[in-house]
Amino acid sequence: MAARLSVLLLRLGLAVTGPALTAAAKMKVVEEPNAFGLNNPFLPQTNRLQPKRDPSPLTGPAHLFRLSGKCFSLVESTYKYEFCPFHNVTQHEQTFRWNAYSGVLGIWHEWEITNNTFTGMWMRDGDSCRDRSRQSKVELTCGKNNRLAQVSEPSTCVYALTFETPLVCHPHSLLVYPTLPEALQWRWDEVEQDLADELITPQGYEKLLREVFEDAGYLKAPRESEPTQQEGATRGLGVETLENCNKVRSELSEEIKRLTNLLSLHGIPHERPTAETSHAEHLGQQSPTEMTAEQLQGDPGLRGNIL
């Protein structure tokens, strides 16, 4: 019964602590037959890990591709963590116990881009963790040797790794722009120009730039990573936008109604731009008293354009 409970806890990814673990910090992975294994019990622990999917293709700064196929490990307390760039992050419990835990903490998915610089590698779709998958963000920092320097778990089943490498020490080594094909650089140039000319908003700029990064394969479309969550979010946004649009539209027709009444009140001739406005005029029973014609003429904004 106790053994069954342990298996259950381990399947849930919960660490089982006990006196047996405390002394086991720097031991090698034990590869012995295991009668309670989840898949093939006669394979060593590491080989029984079942990745949920294949890693994404190699993308980003080409000088980092030489790290592909290599793995770097770090032993921290009772776990050995292994980072295989452009492939995966795994965790292996260091213990002689029969039910040592090993798991996939993420599979190479996409880059993290901040301020137009590659700042980290997202490894997602690791082993299940309640209703989610484990995921890891690997930050790349300059160091003398290739070395997995740090592992932490800032939130449940989200791991933060720091990988040191001399390959990112040059100040330009992680810039996004130089890695793009020419056609995408042109698109980026246009987006910059449009922002400078105020043809797009800062939000529009972020969105268009994200599309450039997605087309380059550096970022994955959100739909692919979190299908259910993202679908809901997108639908929510759509409704919100339509609502906003209707709200603005009804505010504007109220305003037109009000101003039209005001013009009539002061005997100023005006055109009726649409049938709807004239319809609205018939409906409008408000008679504004406090506004004056001067205030109306002084308004240079949207209202002026509409009338």
Ligand X SMILES: *[C@@H]1O[C@H](CO)[C@@H](O)[C@H](O)[C@H]1NC(C)=O
Q: Give me the residues that bind ligand X (CB under 6 A), please.
A: 49, 51, 69, 71, 84, 87-88, 90, 104, 115
| Minimum distance from residue 69 beta carbon to ligand X (Å) | 5
| φ and ψ at residue 3, rounded to 5 degrees | -65, -40
Longest dimension (CA), the chain: 96
Which is closer to ligand X, CB of 88 or CB of 277?
88
Tokens of residue 84, six digits:
């295989």
- If DSSP states are collapsed to H, E and C, what string results for the chain? CHHHHHHHHHHCCCCCCCHHHHCCCCCCCCCCCCCCCCCCCCCCHHHHCCCCCCCCCCCCCHHHHHHCCCCEEEEECCEEEEEECCCEEEEEECCCCCCCCEEEEEEEEEEEEECCEEEEEEEECCCEECCEECEEEEEEEECCCCEEEEEEEEECCEEEEEEEEHHHCCCCCCECHHHCCHHHHHHHHHHHHHHHCCCCCHHHHHHHHHHHHHHCCCCCCHHHHCHHHHHHHHHHHHHHHHHHHHHHHHHHHHHHHHHHHHHHHCCCCCCCCCHHHHHHHHHCCCCCCCCCHHHHHHCCCHHHHHC
Our CB check for ligand X shows the closer of 78 and 88 to be 88
Q: Cα dist. 284→31, 107, 189, 227 in Å?
A: 83, 62, 49, 47
Q: Cβ 126 to ligand X, closest distance in Å?
A: 9
| C-beta closer to ligand X: residue 141 or 230 | 141
Of 89 and 259, the one with the shorter C-beta distance to ligand X is 89
CB of 237 to ligand X, least distance (A): 26
Nearest approach, Cβ of 84 to ligand X (angstroms)?
Answer: 4
Give me 296's structure tokens: 């109306």
Choose between 56 and 261: whose C-beta lies nearer to ligand X. 56
CB of 38: closest distance to ligand X in angstroms? Answer: 13
The nearer residue to ligand X, 74 or 291, going by C-beta atoms, is: 74
Q: How far is the CB of 90 from ligand X (least distance, A)?
A: 6
Residue closer to ligand X (CB basis): 109 or 257: 109
Q: Smallest distance from the beta carbon of 174 to ligand X, in angstroms?
A: 10
Shortest distance, CB of residue 52 to ligand X, whole angstroms?
9
Measured from the CB atom, the residue of 27 and 71 that comes closer to ligand X is: 71
